Structure 1
């Protein structure tokens, strides 16, 4: 009976080690291979994969009018570029409908500093710059600050890389 119990304890310890090893591998994989979670990064316009909202439901026109991110409202929605856009009021929705190329975030909402490196990383609506009458969103505060210090350098690199990156994104 003792040998059976010892065998069971050994198996249990082996199973625990296996589970710990698998958990460690999963953590390592997740750290170096981010899973699409917050926003889809295979779309031409960054959208929340669960809600379908562009720029997490923030009003893109408000960045120009208010100088700050403002949540859009469900009663002021518009469909454009395969995404649902929300606006704070009817006037902002009308402005966007007339000129989405101006009010929509450049590079589809992808971080231009990352685009300049050849990577599509979704921008965060809280980290933004309006430069030369265009909206840019950034994945991190440090990227926003670097861009703001030298937008011409980043834009030249991003514009050169964007066509190839955009071809790799879904329609």
Structure 2
């Protein structure tokens, strides 16, 4: 319980400085430059290159190859992470929080991220409940 309270306090603090963008994009680069297609095709986090860049939803998306870029361009919604790449646990609790690439998780063809591994472990224990909560809250939080 104490650990969860500390996480809530951390997220509230982060919320005050969170981006107002729909996409988690420090420096206007989606997901710190990680190739979102690679999570599906390679099963791991791969840093993209500005050589294979695509602007979508007012941010830059980087890809590791021309093939990954073409796949994304053909169907961005298929590869776009849930909640714009913000923390799935944080969204379930009502706020945006940044994420790191090593917390990625694909469930039912959808890509999710969390704040860190500790938060991911909490999220995974009841991920369906957290996803349901985040899905309900995302429309109101999305552009805040």
Q: Bin the TM-score by the shorter chain.
A: 0.7 to 0.9
How far apart, CA to CA, are the structure 2 residues paired with 1:164 and 1:117? 13
Gaps of 5+ in 2: 1-11
- 1:167 deviation in Å? 4.2
Q: Structure 1 regions of 5+ residues with no counterpart? A: 1-31
Residue 111 (structure 1) shift = 0.6
**Out of 56, 73, 91, which is 1:115 matched to?**
91
CA contact (8 A) 2:20 2:143 kept: no
4+ residue segments displaced more than 6 Å: none
**Would you say 1:161 and 2:140 are equivalent positions?**
no
Question: Rg larger in 1 or in 2?
Answer: 1
2:58 to 63, 70, 82: 82
Q: If the length of structure 1 is used for normalisation, what is the TM-score?
A: 0.72
Asked if structure 2 preserves the Cα contact closer than 8 Å seen for 1:59 and 1:72, the reply is yes
Give the 3-state SS of the residue equivalent to 1:42 in structure 2: coil
CA pair 33-152 structure 1, distance change in 2 beyond 3 A: closer
Q: Kindly indicate whether residue 26 of structure 2 is the aligned counterpart of residue 45 of structure 1.
A: no
- Asked whether the 8 Å contact 2:21–2:143 carries over to 1, the reply is no
Matches within 5 A, 1:27-42: 33-34=13-14, 36=17, 41-42=19-20
Judge which range, 75-84 or 158-167, deviates more: 158-167
Deviations 1:91-130 (A, max 9, x none): 1111111111121111001111110100111221221111
Higher RCO (CA < 8 A, seq sep 6+)? 2
CA RMSD of aligned residues (A): 1.7
Q: Distance in 2 between matches of 1:115 and 1:161?
A: 7
